[in-house]
Chains A and B, each alone.
Chain A
């Protein structure tokens, strides 16, 4: 088990383009979370899945953002029509159960919108 994997590590895109990030959780973990971290701030919760069901979305997740977790395995986070304000580190985390036990973060995808 190599932990939570995120791909790509870095992404530079032009404003207006669409981007998609992937997260592979630890295999036995049924909960998967997305966070966003901007410069000088702590990570902020975006959304989470229990298996394939998306159970909560933060108001930070505008209509341009969509997340999926088909078959309850890996997850993708897509941002449409990127804006400069979307530049941030996007972190994925997974856990096997309630209580934030074994909550493990990936290394993140750093997005720069130019």
Chain B
């Protein structure tokens, strides 16, 4: 069965600090996709990244970076120089290539304090 675990329920950091959100996944598939979504207080799910299981290169997009380690089944997300607008719930997620249903973790609520 597929499963995504986000062990950090809630994190608070002071603005401009770096913060890493952890994600560990379980799947028997050899090919799969990993995602991160942001859910601000407005409730909409905002897509951040989709990563194919064959591509283990780390990715950087502005202040965001992602570390994919297949050996440890982890897909961690780091925000550098955090800002108050980064405050949201962040979900890590997993899908297979057959039906595309996305399995979400329970989310990490991130508070960036001014």
Flag if A42 contacts B97 (CB, 8 Å).
no
How many Å lie between the Cα of A18 and that of B8 in the bound state? Answer: 37
The tally of residues in A whose CB lies under 8 Å from a CB in B reads 26
Cβ-closest chain B residue relative to A50: B99
- Partner of B33 from the list A40, A55, A100, A107 (CB cut-off 8 Å) is A100
CB distance from A48 to the nearest CB of B (A): 6
Instruction: Decide: A48 and B99 in contact? CB cutoff 8 A.
Output: yes
In the bound assembly, the distance between CA atoms of A31 and B100 in angstroms comes to: 9
Q: Which of B37, B50, B101, B106 contacts A45 (CB 8 A)?
A: B101
Residues of B within 8 A of A41 (CB): 106-107
How many Å from the CB of B22 to the closest CB on chain A? 15
Q: Mark A12-45, 1 if CB is under 8 A from B, else 0.
A: 0000000000000000000101010000111111
Knowing A41-B106, A42-B107, A44-B104, say if A98 contacts B93 (CB, 8 Å). Answer: no
The answer, among A33, A42, A104, A107, for a CB contact under 8 Å with B105, is A42
List residues of A (44-85) whose CB comes within 8 Å of B's CBs: 44-45, 48, 55-56
Q: How far is the CB of B65 from chain A (nearest CB, A)?
A: 21
Cβ-defined contact, A100 with B102, below 8 A:
yes
CA distance A105 to B47 in the complex (A): 9
- Whether the pair A56, B104 counts as a contact (CB closer than 8 A) is no
The answer to whether A107 touches B95, judged by C-beta atoms less than 8 angstroms apart, is: no
Task: Give the residue name and chain of the B residue nearest to A43 (CB).
Answer: B104
11 contacting pairs across A/B (C-beta < 8 A): A33-B100, A42-B104, A45-B101, A48-B100, A56-B99, A89-B43, A91-B45, A98-B100, A100-B102, A105-B45, A110-B43
B interface, CB within 8 angstroms of A: 4, 33, 35, 37, 42-45, 47, 50, 91, 93, 95, 97-107
Residues on A lying within 8 angstroms of B by beta carbon are 31, 33, 35, 40-45, 48, 55-56, 89, 91, 95, 98-101, 103-108, 110
